[in-house]
């Protein structure tokens, strides 16, 4: 077992109401994982087996509590060699992991209008850490970066050029997860299949066409609201519906409905959790699941067209890794594209769902965003 005192890389995933963390050693063994949820006067700290209520009213306070708890478990701030941050939005220019300098920090701040609920919190954590440990290198890894290889025709909306120049274009998300899948699939399959259809299915859900290891199309767009039916987000929707909602409920009301009251929750009457929906089995829950599967298949068809065929399908994320029913539902709708799987292997969540000799292979792989961030941070700072 790894020794927490050898923590070299701290990975931080700072969200609006939580901070998740993972600690790795320099050969990328994970030594500790946890975080603080429900930021406020009664937040919950989890670190390894430890669980306790804490006061953490803002990100700065939460980070201080987290660092103290890490210290108590042998991960000393002074011993860390680098901190890697997941940054949701890098805009059009920040597409590769990068060491955080004042210039990079300013560039991330410039992307705030693109991710108003995320980038300010990332910056708060970076600033707080810089104040506590000015000499500790920090690295930013961008969830949008993997999709920078999409062709311009995939990235642009059919809007006038000046709007695209102003940032109104597609970006795509879940990029760190997809980059991790590519690495893991190459190792497991022996060689990377050319045309990979990847599904990251969690509370947020997206799919991506990956050709030769590079993203060529993805379902999320300007924001993570687009694409598949999700836990509480609506996915693809006619913009005229958005305009009508905005007229009737105001901008904030419309945004709240589309991001927090739609998707599985909207369809089922309030339940966004796939495991709960599967267990309930009432007509509304069943319809929500059918909608999720149907639109995953529909988007899959579009992605297969974008990469002109299909050689492998990969599932990850809480639903992708754990729901045999959803994987079967999606794969059963893609037999026309050559998808085949062994139901017994699917029930076991085996990494390899297909039998030998299958032309289009199917896989279940863990989402490894934190490890990808740790690897990038280590490579940029420790191995440099």
- Residues placed in the known binding site for ATP: 20, 200-204, 273-275, 318-322
Lookup: tokens for 346: 């699917």
Residue with tokens 């990377």: 192
Choose between 275 and 348: whose C-beta lies nearer to ligand ADP: 275
Number of residues this chain uses to bind ligand ADP (CB under 6 A): 13
Q: Which parts of 105-164 interact with ligand ADP (CB under 6 A)?
A: none
3-class DSSP state of 125: helix
Choose between 37 and 278: whose C-beta lies nearer to ligand ADP: 278
Binding residues for Mg(2+): 13, 369
| 350 is a site residue for ligand ADP (CB under 6 A) | no
Residue with tokens 């919950």: 44
Binding residues: 13, 20, 86, 200-204, 273-275, 318-322, 369
Hey, how many other C-beta atoms are within 10 angstroms of the C-beta on 239?
A: 8
Choose between 112 and 203: whose C-beta lies nearer to ligand ADP: 203
Residue whose C-alpha is closest to residue 63's, from 135, 7, 133? 133
Degrees to nearest 5, angle at CA 334 with 332 and 336: 115
Closest contact distance (angstroms) between CB of 362 and ligand ADP is 18
Q: Which distant-in-sequence residues (6+ apart) come within 8 Å of 162 by Cβ?
A: none
Choose between 128 and 364: whose C-beta lies nearer to ligand ADP: 364
Closest contact distance (angstroms) between CB of 317 and ligand ADP is 4
Choose between 12 and 154: whose C-beta lies nearer to ligand ADP: 12
Closest contact distance (angstroms) between CB of 133 and ligand ADP is 28
Residue whose C-alpha is closest to residue 331's, from 316, 343, 322? 343
Closest contact distance (angstroms) between CB of 273 and ligand ADP is 4
**DSSP secondary structure letter of residue 245:** H
CA dist 380 and 81 (Å) reads 11
- Residue of minimal Cβ distance to ligand ADP: 318
Lookup: tokens for 6: 């050898």
Q: Which parts of 265-324 interact with ligand ADP (CB under 6 A)?
A: 273-275, 278, 317-319, 322-323
DSSP string, 262-323: SHHHHHHTS---HHHHHHH--HHHHHHHHHHHHHHHHHHHHHHHHTTS-SEEEEEHHHHHH-
Stretch that binds ligand ADP, among 198-206, 220-228, 340-348, 375-383 (CB under 6 A): 198-206
Beta strands of 29-111 (E only): which ranges? Answer: 30-37, 40-47, 50-56, 82-87, 98-99
Closest contact distance (angstroms) between CB of 118 and ligand ADP is 14
Q: Which parts of 39-78 interact with ligand ADP (CB under 6 A)?
A: none
Q: Which of 91, 175, 204, 266 binds ligand ADP (CB under 6 A)?
A: 204
Q: What is the 3-state secondary structure (H, E, C) of 39-55?
A: CEEEEEEEECCEEEEEE
Catalytic one of 53, 143, 311, 332: 143
Closest contact distance (angstroms) between CB of 325 and ligand ADP is 7
Choose between 244 and 275: whose C-beta lies nearer to ligand ADP: 275
Q: Is the dihedral of CA 147, 234, 58, 64 positive or negative?
A: negative
CA dist 219 and 197 (Å) reads 11
- For the question of residue 143 being annotated catalytic, the response is yes
**DSSP secondary structure letter of residue 339:** B
Site string for ligand ADP, 216-245 (x = CB under 6 A): ---------------x--------------
CA dist 161 and 152 (Å) reads 12
Q: Which residues are catalytic?
A: 143
Residues forming contacts to ligand ADP in the complex (CB under 6 A) are 202-204, 231, 273-275, 278, 317-319, 322-323
């Amino acid at each position: 077992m790894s020794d927490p005192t050898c923590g070299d890389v701290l990975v931080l995933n700072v969200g609006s109401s939580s901070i998740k963390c993972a600690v790795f050693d320099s050969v990328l063994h994970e030594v500790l994982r946890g975080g603080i949820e429900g930021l406020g006067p009664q937040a919950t700290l989890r670190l390894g087996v430890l669980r306790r209520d804490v006061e953490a009213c803002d990100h700065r306070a939460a980070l201080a509590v987290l660092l103290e708890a890490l210290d108590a478990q042998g991960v000393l701030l002074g011993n860390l060699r680098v901190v890697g941050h997941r940054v949701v939005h890098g805009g059009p220019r920040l597409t590769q992991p990068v060491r955080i300098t004042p210039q990079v920090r300013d560039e991330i701040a410039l992307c705030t209008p693109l991710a108003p609920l995320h980038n300010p919190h990332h910056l708060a954590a970076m600033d707080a850490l810089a104040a506590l440990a000015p000499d500790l290198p920090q690295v930013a890894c961008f969830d949008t970066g993997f999709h920078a290889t999409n062709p311009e025709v995939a990235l642009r909306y059919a809007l006038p050029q000046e709007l695209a120049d102003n940032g109104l274009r597609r970006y795509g998300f879940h990029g760190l997860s997809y980059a991790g899948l590519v690495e893991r699939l190459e190792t497991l399959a022996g060689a990377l299949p050319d045309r990979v259809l990847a599904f990251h299915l969690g509370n947020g859900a997206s799919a991506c066409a990956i050709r030769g290891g590079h993203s060529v199309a993805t379902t999320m767009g300007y924001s993570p609201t687009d694409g598949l039916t999700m836990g509480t987000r609506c996915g693809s929707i006619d913009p005229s519906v958005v305009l009508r909602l905005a007229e009737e409920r105001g901008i904030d009301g419309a945004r709240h409905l589309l991001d927090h009251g739609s998707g599985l929750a909207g369809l089922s009457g309030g339940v966004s959790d796939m495991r709960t929906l599967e267990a309930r089995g009432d007509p509304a829950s069943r319809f929500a699941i059918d909608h999720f599967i149907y639109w995953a298949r529909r988007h899959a068809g579009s992605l297969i067209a974008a990469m002109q065929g299909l050689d492998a399908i990969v599932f990850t994320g809480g639903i992708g890794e754990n729901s045999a029913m959803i994987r079967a539902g999606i794969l059963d709708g893609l037999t026309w594209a050559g998808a085949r799987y062994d139901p017994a292997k699917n029930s076991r969540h085996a990494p390899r769902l297909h039998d030998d000799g299958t032309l289009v292979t199917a896989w279940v792989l863990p989402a490894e965003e934190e490890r990808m961030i740790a690897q990038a941070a280590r490579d940029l700072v420790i191995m440099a």
